[in-house]
A and B are shown apart, each in its own frame.
Chain A
Amino acid sequence: EIVMTQSPAIVSVSPGERATLSCRASQSVFNNVAWYQQKPGQAPRLLIYAASTRAAGIPARFSGSGSGTEFTLTITSLQSEDFAVYHCQQYHNPRDLTFGGGTKVDVK
């Protein structure tokens, strides 16, 4: 099983500032990483796939980077609607899709 570890567990950011979220894979997953946003009581929303490709309708303030074992989701100029939990997921092994534990972005 490929273990995905996200850090930090919680990041406090002021509106308008930048948030940087990290995700580490236990082995190389090349660029086979997706990122999701999840708000309370809602299903996750796909933000990024292939480590850096934004999904349809996702604002440009969301960007993904990384390859191999280290990945980053950056949210520039945080808006009020961006305070949520963010999950990374690897699909390098499509027979064993795994997610990280999530990072909560809350208001500083």
Chain B
Amino acid sequence: AQSVTQPDIHITVSEGASLELRCNYSYGATPYLFWYVQSPGQGLQLLLKYFSGDTLVQGIKGFEAEFKRSQSSFNLRKPSVHWSDAAEYFCAVGDRRDYKLSFGAGTTVTVRA
């Protein structure tokens, strides 16, 4: 069965600094990989997804993620964070057969001025 680990529960970053959120997955084949963001009181918004092809994926809000098969990782990055990026971020892996998602526990990002 697939699983996702997000090692960092909480990250604090200064506005304008770079951000990297870690995600490791366990899956028997090439997975579908996703990053979602949840702002307070909001739903889960898709930032980006990887199905195949180029391992560097561009998403919305200036985020990107890189799929590294050798490390079973799909880390999320942003070169310069804005105060509005403060939120909870979830990595997820999808099964290619049944279209259900398995989520990581999430990483809360705090942005300080």
Q: Do chains A and B stick together as partners?
A: no
